[in-house]
Structure 1
């Protein structure tokens, strides 16, 4: 039924909760599990907050920074290089968690929901399994929801896994 399952991750607890579901589905259907993160490049003032695979988040939940503050091209390049390394560490850590499952890792760039949907189209993905932070009210309105945008616009089924109180 499923040959290619996509697990987009930002390295957060919510994403980790969804990884178990993605792994089970990949094992059950003998599917390839595509693990990706997105470096949000939708604004020149957006970077990612990834601090590594120990529960940090990537560009899928971006944090503002002012590139003009550095005044040095090399420093900006070092920041971008560091962000790419952290993004790769996040997908590599997730891939290590699903040992025994055929995996593909990717770090994509752009607005997160668009990058996810582009990846789906380019890689014949049959199912998306992603975590959701379960934000509500003003926080959801101000921060938006990548999962919600993907659910509303995806042409393939999307399984969302909400971070439970026990998972935080």
Structure 2
């Protein structure tokens, strides 16, 4: 049923819960899991008081750390892993990578790092992916931080 599972991560503490669900789903099918981190170009552009290149580099470094952590967790569970990092709009990049790898399932958290999203319950990225995906999406409720 599942051969390729895409897991979107922003490197937050909720990533553990997302990975737990991805592992539980992947194990019975021996599926490959692709953790994805998107450097949000909107954040880079909106950092008016800082050099955009510095902001991009910080986000790229955070992304590499997040992907390494996710890959280690998945590999420790015996899951085949292929990581992806993209730059751009998170909603579009998640959907694009899902198409590129022909994911059978997209797994993501219920909200991002912003306080507004935590209060609202379903974040803007999650909501957009659910509305626009042409494949199953598993939205994982994240623990309160």
Deviations 1:42-67 (A, max 9, x none): x3xx23xxxxxxxxxxxxxxx9411x
Query: What is the CA–CA distance in structure 2 between the aligned matches of 1:109 and 1:136, rounded to whole Å?
Result: 23
Identify the residue that residue 27 of structure 1 maps to in structure 2. 27
**CA-atom RMSD in angstroms:** 2.7
Aligned match of 1:102 in 67, 80, 96? 80
TM-score of the pair, normalised by structure 1: 0.73
Runs of 4+ in 1 over 2 A off after TM superposition: 13-16, 75-83, 133-137
Deviations 1:67-125 (A, max 9, x none): xx45xxxx543442232122111111011111221001111111111100000111111
Aligned residue-pair number: 141
DSSP-derived class of the 1:98 partner: helix
Q: Report if aligned partners of 2:5, 2:105 keep a CA contact under 8 Å in 1.
A: yes
- Structure 2 unaligned runs (5+)? none
Q: Which has the higher Rg, Structure 1 or Structure 2? A: 1
TM-score of the pair, normalised by structure 2: 0.84
Identify the residue that residue 114 of structure 1 maps to in structure 2. 92
